[in-house]
A and B are shown apart, each in its own frame.
Chain A
Protein backbone atom coordinates (compact mmCIF):
# COMPACT_ATOMS: atom_id res chain seq x y z
CA UNK A 1 0.00 0.00 0.00
CA UNK A 2 1.29 3.44 -0.92
CA UNK A 3 1.90 5.97 1.83
CA UNK A 4 0.01 8.59 -0.18
CA UNK A 5 -3.01 7.81 -2.32
CA UNK A 6 -4.41 10.45 -4.62
CA UNK A 7 -7.72 10.38 -6.45
CA UNK A 8 -6.53 9.39 -9.92
CA UNK A 9 -8.84 11.38 -12.16
CA UNK A 10 -8.66 12.57 -14.81
CA UNK A 11 -11.10 15.31 -14.02
CA UNK A 12 -12.90 17.43 -16.59
CA UNK A 13 -15.06 20.35 -15.51
CA UNK A 14 -16.68 23.38 -17.15
CA UNK A 15 -15.24 26.80 -16.55
CA UNK A 16 -16.47 28.31 -13.31
CA UNK A 17 -16.98 24.98 -11.54
CA UNK A 18 -15.69 24.20 -8.08
CA UNK A 19 -13.03 21.52 -8.15
CA UNK A 20 -12.15 19.19 -5.31
CA UNK A 21 -8.87 17.28 -5.34
CA UNK A 22 -8.14 14.77 -2.61
CA UNK A 23 -5.43 12.65 -1.07
CA UNK A 24 -5.29 10.18 1.78
CA UNK A 25 -2.22 9.03 3.61
CA UNK A 26 -1.18 6.38 6.09
CA UNK A 27 1.85 7.87 7.85
CA UNK A 28 0.69 9.66 10.98
CA UNK A 29 4.10 11.33 11.26
CA UNK A 30 3.37 13.61 8.32
CA UNK A 31 3.15 17.20 9.53
CA UNK A 32 3.62 19.25 6.37
CA UNK A 33 1.16 19.11 3.52
CA UNK A 34 1.62 20.64 0.11
CA UNK A 35 -0.09 20.92 -3.23
CA UNK A 36 1.87 21.36 -6.41
CA UNK A 37 0.64 22.23 -9.88
CA UNK A 38 2.46 20.80 -12.87
CA UNK A 39 1.85 21.93 -16.41
CA UNK A 40 2.72 19.56 -19.22
CA UNK A 41 6.46 19.14 -19.75
CA UNK A 42 7.29 21.45 -16.86
CA UNK A 43 8.47 21.01 -13.30
CA UNK A 44 5.93 21.24 -10.46
CA UNK A 45 5.33 24.57 -8.75
CA UNK A 46 4.25 24.92 -5.15
CA UNK A 47 0.64 26.09 -4.85
CA UNK A 48 -0.28 25.69 -1.22
CA UNK A 49 1.45 24.72 1.98
CA UNK A 50 -0.20 23.73 5.27
CA UNK A 51 1.27 22.71 8.56
CA UNK A 52 -0.79 20.24 10.61
CA UNK A 53 -4.59 20.32 10.53
CA UNK A 54 -6.72 23.19 9.36
CA UNK A 55 -7.64 25.28 6.36
CA UNK A 56 -5.64 27.72 4.33
CA UNK A 57 -7.00 30.00 1.66
CA UNK A 58 -5.14 31.78 -1.12
CA UNK A 59 -7.32 33.48 -3.67
CA UNK A 60 -9.39 30.85 -5.45
CA UNK A 61 -7.53 28.02 -3.76
CA UNK A 62 -8.32 26.46 -0.38
CA UNK A 63 -6.30 23.66 1.19
CA UNK A 64 -7.79 21.54 3.94
CA UNK A 65 -6.03 19.06 6.19
CA UNK A 66 -7.81 16.63 8.47
CA UNK A 67 -5.13 14.73 10.35
CA UNK A 68 -7.65 12.68 12.31
CA UNK A 69 -8.91 11.20 9.04
CA UNK A 70 -5.52 11.39 7.29
CA UNK A 71 -7.20 13.24 4.46
CA UNK A 72 -6.26 16.40 2.60
CA UNK A 73 -8.08 18.36 -0.05
CA UNK A 74 -7.52 21.21 -2.45
CA UNK A 75 -10.51 23.21 -3.59
CA UNK A 76 -10.44 25.48 -6.61
CA UNK A 77 -13.27 27.99 -6.92
CA UNK A 78 -14.35 29.58 -10.17
CA UNK A 79 -12.05 27.27 -12.11
CA UNK A 80 -10.41 28.69 -15.22
CA UNK A 81 -9.00 27.01 -18.34
CA UNK A 82 -5.57 28.14 -17.12
CA UNK A 83 -6.06 25.84 -14.11
CA UNK A 84 -5.82 22.86 -16.46
CA UNK A 85 -2.80 20.94 -15.20
CA UNK A 86 -1.80 17.99 -13.08
CA UNK A 87 -2.06 18.55 -9.35
CA UNK A 88 0.20 16.66 -7.00
CA UNK A 89 -0.27 16.38 -3.28
CA UNK A 90 2.84 15.96 -1.17
CA UNK A 91 3.51 15.50 2.49
CA UNK A 92 6.49 15.14 4.77
CA UNK A 93 7.57 14.70 8.35
CA UNK A 94 10.24 17.41 7.99
CA UNK A 95 12.33 14.97 6.00
CA UNK A 96 11.77 13.95 2.43
CA UNK A 97 8.46 14.61 0.76
CA UNK A 98 6.25 11.81 -0.47
CA UNK A 99 4.17 12.65 -3.52
CA UNK A 100 0.83 11.41 -4.73
CA UNK A 101 0.53 10.20 -8.31
CA UNK A 102 -1.28 13.35 -9.40
CA UNK A 103 -4.72 14.24 -10.72
CA UNK A 104 -5.00 15.73 -14.17
CA UNK A 105 -7.58 18.49 -14.36
CA UNK A 106 -9.06 19.93 -17.54
CA UNK A 107 -11.22 23.02 -17.30
CA UNK A 108 -13.24 23.49 -20.46
CA UNK A 109 -14.19 27.01 -21.62
Chain B
Protein backbone atom coordinates (compact mmCIF):
# COMPACT_ATOMS: atom_id res chain seq x y z
CA UNK B 1 0.00 0.00 0.00
CA UNK B 2 0.91 3.65 -0.16
CA UNK B 3 3.26 4.48 2.67
CA UNK B 4 5.03 7.68 3.50
CA UNK B 5 8.03 7.14 5.73
CA UNK B 6 9.17 10.07 7.85
CA UNK B 7 12.35 10.25 9.89
CA UNK B 8 13.30 10.93 12.56
CA UNK B 9 10.20 10.46 14.67
CA UNK B 10 11.58 12.74 17.33
CA UNK B 11 14.62 14.94 17.69
CA UNK B 12 16.03 17.22 20.36
CA UNK B 13 18.50 19.86 19.27
CA UNK B 14 20.26 22.84 20.72
CA UNK B 15 19.17 26.34 19.89
CA UNK B 16 21.03 27.66 16.86
CA UNK B 17 21.60 24.32 15.20
CA UNK B 18 19.88 22.94 12.10
CA UNK B 19 17.74 19.86 11.86
CA UNK B 20 16.82 17.86 8.76
CA UNK B 21 13.63 15.86 8.49
CA UNK B 22 13.20 13.31 5.69
CA UNK B 23 10.02 12.19 4.04
CA UNK B 24 10.06 9.25 1.64
CA UNK B 25 7.23 7.83 -0.44
CA UNK B 26 7.52 4.06 -0.50
CA UNK B 27 6.18 2.07 -3.45
CA UNK B 28 5.06 5.16 -5.34
CA UNK B 29 6.43 8.30 -6.87
CA UNK B 30 5.27 11.56 -5.38
CA UNK B 31 5.81 14.58 -7.59
CA UNK B 32 4.28 16.71 -4.87
CA UNK B 33 4.68 16.48 -1.13
CA UNK B 34 3.29 18.72 1.56
CA UNK B 35 4.81 19.85 4.83
CA UNK B 36 2.67 20.71 7.83
CA UNK B 37 3.24 21.99 11.30
CA UNK B 38 0.95 21.08 14.16
CA UNK B 39 0.82 22.63 17.61
CA UNK B 40 -0.74 20.73 20.52
CA UNK B 41 -4.51 20.44 20.24
CA UNK B 42 -4.48 22.38 16.99
CA UNK B 43 -4.95 21.39 13.40
CA UNK B 44 -2.48 20.99 10.62
CA UNK B 45 -0.97 24.18 9.30
CA UNK B 46 0.30 23.84 5.76
CA UNK B 47 3.79 25.25 5.57
CA UNK B 48 4.77 24.53 1.99
CA UNK B 49 4.19 22.43 -1.07
CA UNK B 50 7.27 20.59 -2.25
CA UNK B 51 7.56 19.95 -5.99
CA UNK B 52 10.08 17.54 -7.43
CA UNK B 53 12.74 19.33 -9.42
CA UNK B 54 11.56 22.84 -8.64
CA UNK B 55 11.36 25.30 -5.80
CA UNK B 56 8.89 24.76 -3.03
CA UNK B 57 5.84 26.94 -2.71
CA UNK B 58 5.58 28.43 0.75
CA UNK B 59 2.41 29.53 2.49
CA UNK B 60 2.07 33.09 3.60
CA UNK B 61 3.96 33.81 6.79
CA UNK B 62 6.34 30.86 6.50
CA UNK B 63 9.98 31.88 6.32
CA UNK B 64 11.51 30.13 3.35
CA UNK B 65 15.04 30.84 4.54
CA UNK B 66 14.33 29.22 7.86
CA UNK B 67 12.44 26.18 6.59
CA UNK B 68 14.41 24.87 3.65
CA UNK B 69 12.64 22.32 1.51
CA UNK B 70 14.37 20.11 -1.03
CA UNK B 71 12.53 17.66 -3.26
CA UNK B 72 15.47 16.16 -5.11
CA UNK B 73 13.82 12.97 -6.29
CA UNK B 74 10.36 11.54 -6.87
CA UNK B 75 10.52 9.67 -3.59
CA UNK B 76 12.31 12.02 -1.21
CA UNK B 77 11.56 15.44 0.21
CA UNK B 78 13.46 17.02 3.08
CA UNK B 79 12.66 19.86 5.45
CA UNK B 80 15.58 21.55 7.16
CA UNK B 81 14.87 23.82 10.09
CA UNK B 82 17.81 26.18 10.10
CA UNK B 83 19.12 27.99 13.19
CA UNK B 84 16.38 26.42 15.25
CA UNK B 85 14.95 28.24 18.24
CA UNK B 86 12.66 27.03 21.02
CA UNK B 87 9.65 28.55 19.27
CA UNK B 88 10.28 26.16 16.37
CA UNK B 89 9.50 23.25 18.67
CA UNK B 90 6.50 21.54 17.16
CA UNK B 91 5.20 18.45 15.41
CA UNK B 92 6.12 18.42 11.72
CA UNK B 93 4.29 16.12 9.32
CA UNK B 94 4.68 15.45 5.62
CA UNK B 95 2.14 14.04 3.23
CA UNK B 96 1.81 12.98 -0.37
CA UNK B 97 -1.00 12.05 -2.69
CA UNK B 98 -0.79 8.51 -3.95
CA UNK B 99 -1.69 8.35 -7.67
CA UNK B 100 -5.24 7.17 -8.21
CA UNK B 101 -6.11 7.42 -4.52
CA UNK B 102 -8.14 10.01 -2.78
CA UNK B 103 -6.95 12.12 0.07
CA UNK B 104 -3.43 12.26 1.37
CA UNK B 105 -1.09 9.73 2.87
CA UNK B 106 0.71 11.18 5.86
CA UNK B 107 4.03 10.40 7.40
CA UNK B 108 4.16 9.50 11.07
CA UNK B 109 5.40 12.94 12.03
CA UNK B 110 8.52 14.34 13.68
CA UNK B 111 8.41 15.90 17.10
CA UNK B 112 11.09 18.58 17.25
CA UNK B 113 12.19 19.99 20.58
CA UNK B 114 14.66 22.84 20.59
CA UNK B 115 16.39 23.45 23.89
Interface residues of A (CB under 8 A from B): 6, 32, 34, 36, 41-46, 49, 51, 88, 90, 96-97, 99-102, 104
Contacts and interface: CB of A to CB of B under 8 A. Distances in A.
Interface string B89-115: 001010100000011111111010000
B43 A101 contact: yes
A46 B103 contact: yes
20 contacts: A34-B102, A36-B103, A41-B111, A42-B108, A43-B4, A43-B6, A43-B93, A43-B106, A43-B107, A44-B44, A44-B106, A46-B102, A49-B103, A51-B102, A88-B43, A88-B44, A90-B103, A96-B46, A96-B49, A100-B43
Nearest to B105: A46
B60 interface: no
Contacts, number: 47
A46 B46 CA distance: 17
Contacts of B46: 96
Interface residues on B, range: 20 to 34
A41 B90 CA distance: 11
A99 B44 CA distance: 7
Given A43-B6, A43-B95, A96-B49, A101 B42 contact: yes
Nearest to A46: B103
A96 B35 CA distance: 12
A37 to B, nearest CB: 11
Contacts of A46: 102-105
B8 to A, nearest CB: 13
Contacts of A100: 43
B45 to A, nearest CB: 9
A86 B105 CA distance: 17
